[in-house]
Amino acid sequence: MGNALGCCVPAAIKEYQFPSLNIRFTRKKKEEKALRSAGAELDLPFEIDWSTAKRENWKFESLTGPGRYFFKFQPEIEQISGSIAEGEAKLKSQPELYEGMMYQTNMKDWPSDQQNYKLVKRTGSGYRFTPEQPPSFTFLEAKYQALEHHSKITLDPDQYTDGMTFRGQRLGKACHPGRGQGVCDVPHIKIIGEIHPNDIIQGNVGDCWLLSAISALSEFEGAIAKLFKKTPNIKALPKNQPQKYVVTLYDMKTWAPVDIEVDERLCMKPDGSDILGCHPSYDGELWACYVEKAVAIHCGGWDEIDGGQCTHAWRLLTGCKYQYTFQHDGEGFLCLGKFNPNNEEWDPLENSVKKGTQGLWPMAWPEVGGGGDLSYKCGQNEMFERMCAWDDQNYVMAAGTKAGSDSNTTDGIVDGHAYTVITCLNDVAGTEHDLVKVRNPWGKGEFTSGRWCDDGPGWTEFPEVAAVCKPTKANDGVFWLSKAEFFKYFKTIYLCAQDMNAFIQ
């Protein structure tokens, strides 16, 4: 029996004696599961393809002043002794290779054999230069402008973006992606392309709980497109004219769908130096940025999504009530949730995870995977078997690390952080190895000391396992762990008991 939305199968509240599990012997074949997104089997890291860039879309902007520069990742810079004019010619002839060039402004008047300059390689470092007075340095930046410049369009703003704040501060002027403001200025800019969990790159808001939940949905072909079902012709956007997008979420008071309309602008940090929320994907997809923005608006602002739980995100995204949190208490995993066994009613909730009823109740275990009553506990081996069953049922999962600051890591695993559980594989390639594939929503930062990390010895020791798992040697936040390693670092498992095949249909 499903709930009012017809999306989930409830776990009955009853006494239950758990039977022996044979899940690993009855796993579904890949073709029997819900269709995964086109990019879900990505086995190479994304790279920006500049081969499709139109020469006329390159713009060169000169900034002069003593200024400051900043970057997201350490830039690669070439120091060159030679004519500044030759450097400018090199930049303009190969802008796909260089973000820009820096030189001492008055050096242009020096003899050419005494001149030198720096070329900043185009590595995705996010290098930016902010000029001040009096002038002393010049940065000539190569920008790709895929769409009409933002100054030449007339925007019909949404009712939210201009008034949004974060941690008590007004935000910087919002930016238009693809319009020459340094955000997603790439030739293949799009809202939705080959959707993949790697499209999620967390920004400056503490919403790993939300982004991990979104990343889990993105595995399934059609799930993200369904969120944009009220946006006409979404796969052909953006276009030159200013855009608006409609994201369909669920209201927690009524469990009814609600449409959130947002304009194309992305919120910036208060100092205007970078995007506040999640970044466009490495291959130029913007869907995650707009889903996150819509959720922030739906919940009452950016502060309302700064911290939370994956289960609440899945409520907002899918309208499914049957969300489970499994916590290890030192003896085994307990099943917890928002169904109050005392009055047999669901706790009242708000859209903001920080409002509404707090805390969790003991809940009966989902029937998929074996069931279990309110007091049932299971060990790590059995928990893995259940996770395999949920994976086969097209449920979505995430996992939380031990409490602590996300500035602290253990073997590359971040404290106080939520990761997407992408898949669980048992007896991989006929071996005894049970593996779990997870992803860090930061889009970087991985497990560093395991047998199955990117450079781990397991892949060469067992090439048949590598052939099945297709590990990618890239700092993209995706990595594999053995069953034992997974439960060593992850003490909380989150589950949305929603068959994604049914949700999509």
pLDDT at 10 over 50: no
Say whether 417 is catalytic. Answer: yes
User: Exposure of 355 by Cβ count < 10 A (0-12 exposed, 13-18 middle, 19+ buried)?
Assistant: middle
Give mean pLDDT, residues 473-501: 94
pLDDT at 465 over 70: yes
- The SS3 of residue 314 is helix
More confident residue, 197 or 13: 197
Task: Quote the pLDDT of residue 37.
Answer: 60
pLDDT digit string, tens, across residues 144-175: 999 999 999 999 999 999 999 999 999 999 99
pLDDT digit string, tens, across residues 202-244: 999 999 999 999 999 999 999 999 999 999 999 999 999 999 9
pLDDT digit string, tens, across residues 384-442: 999 999 999 999 999 999 998 888 999 999 999 999 999 999 999 999 999 999 999 98
Q: Which CATH number fits domain 50-144: 1.10.1740, 2.30.30, 3.50.4, 3.40.50?
A: 3.50.4
Q: What's the rounded Cα separation, in Å, for the pair 3 and 338?
A: 14
Q: Which of 176, 328, 417, 433 is catalytic?
A: 417
Give mean pLDDT, residues 28-50: 64
Amino acid sitting at position 478: V
Asked if the bond preceding 134 is cis, omega within 30° of 0, the reply is yes
Q: What's the rounded Cα separation, in Å, for the pair 151 and 159?
A: 20
Q: Which of 440, 453, 469, 496 is catalytic?
A: 440
> How is 358-382 classified by DSSP, letter by letter?
-S-EE-PPPTTTT---TT--B-HHH
Say whether 208 is catalytic. Answer: yes
Q: pTM (2 decimals)?
A: 0.88
Give mean pLDDT, residues 129-135: 76
Q: Which CATH number fits domain 23-44+310-504: 3.20.20.140, 3.40.980.20, 3.90.70.10, 3.30.70.20?
A: 3.90.70.10
- The SS3 of residue 386 is helix
Q: Which of 208, 299, 335, 496 is catalytic?
A: 208
Task: Quote the pLDDT of residue 34.
Answer: 64
Task: Quote the pLDDT of residue 6.
Answer: 35
pLDDT at 249 over 80: yes
Interacting residues of 223 by C-beta distance below 8 A, sequence separation 6+: 37, 217, 500, 503, 504
Q: What's the rounded Cα separation, in Å, for the pair 342 and 196?
A: 41
Domain boundaries defined on the chain:
23-44+310-504, 50-144, 157-301
Can you count the helices (H) and strands (E) in the chain?
10, 25
Give mean pLDDT, residues 489-501: 96
pLDDT above 70 covers a percentage of the chain that reads 92
pLDDT digit string, tens, across residues 430-453: 999 999 999 999 888 899 888 999
What are φ and ψ of residue 264, in 5° steps?
Answer: -75, -15
pLDDT category, 30, cuts 50, 70, 90?
Answer: confident
Upper half-sphere CA count for residue 326 (Cβ side, 13 Å): 27
How far are the Cα atoms of 5, 215, 313, 406, 409 from residue 419, in angstroms, in the given order? 28, 9, 13, 12, 13
Say whether 7 is catalytic. Answer: no
pLDDT digit string, tens, across residues 54-99: 999 999 999 998 877 777 678 999 999 999 999 999 999 999 999 9
pLDDT digit string, tens, across residues 327-383: 999 999 999 999 999 999 999 999 999 998 999 999 999 999 999 999 999 999 999
pLDDT at 16 over 70: no
More confident residue, 87 or 45: 87
Give me the chain's average pLDDT, please.
90
pLDDT at 308 over 90: yes
- The SS3 of residue 8 is strand
Task: Quote the pLDDT of residue 473.
Answer: 85
Task: Quote the pLDDT of residue 66.
Answer: 82
